[in-house]
Amino acid sequence: MHQPSALHEATRQSLEHYFATLDGQIPINLHAIVMQEVEQALFDFVMRRTGNNQSMSAKWLGINRNTLHKKIEQYGLLAESNLTPTAGELHAQTR
């Protein structure tokens, strides 16, 4: 039997936590909420790991640079001061 990946398990745990915070309320538009949260985190992570290199980020994500640029603007990623890569992230880029 196929074992869930660590990413799958982390997502499941995050959903369990999200539902616990709803306090019995019924979620609305759950798919859109989850997809936006995951996409924003993914783009933020990749941009950090590539040192804000949009060409490399687009390649990693498998999208064209125009799409990446639209998503960066949509999520305000370049406006965030915390998008600067950490020392550990810079080290990972050189591997």
φ, ψ at 80 (rounded to 5°): -80, 125
Q: State the DSSP H helix or E strand holding residue 91, giving kind and residue range, or none if neither.
A: helix 87-93
- Residue showing tokens 């040192």: 51
What does the pLDDT read at residue 81?
46
Asked whether residue 10 is assigned to any structural domain, the reply reads no
Positions in the chain short of pLDDT 50? 81-82
Q: What is the pLDDT of residue 78?
A: 85
pLDDT score for 85: 54
Cβ neighbors of 74 (< 8 A, separation 6 or more) are none
Q: How many domains does the chain have?
A: 1
DSSP letter at 84 equals S
Whether 58 is in a domain gets the answer: yes
Q: What CATH number does the domain containing 86 carry?
A: 1.10.10.60
Q: Is residue 73 part of a domain?
A: yes
Dihedral pair phi/psi, residue 16, rounded to 5°: -60, -45
Residue 8 domain-assigned (yes or no): no
Residue-level pLDDT at 3 = 82
What pLDDT, on a 0 to 100 scale, did the predictor assign at position 71? Answer: 96
Tell whether 19 is covered by a domain: no
Determine the pLDDT at residue 10: 95
CA dihedral 21, 16, 76, 84 (to 10 degrees): 110
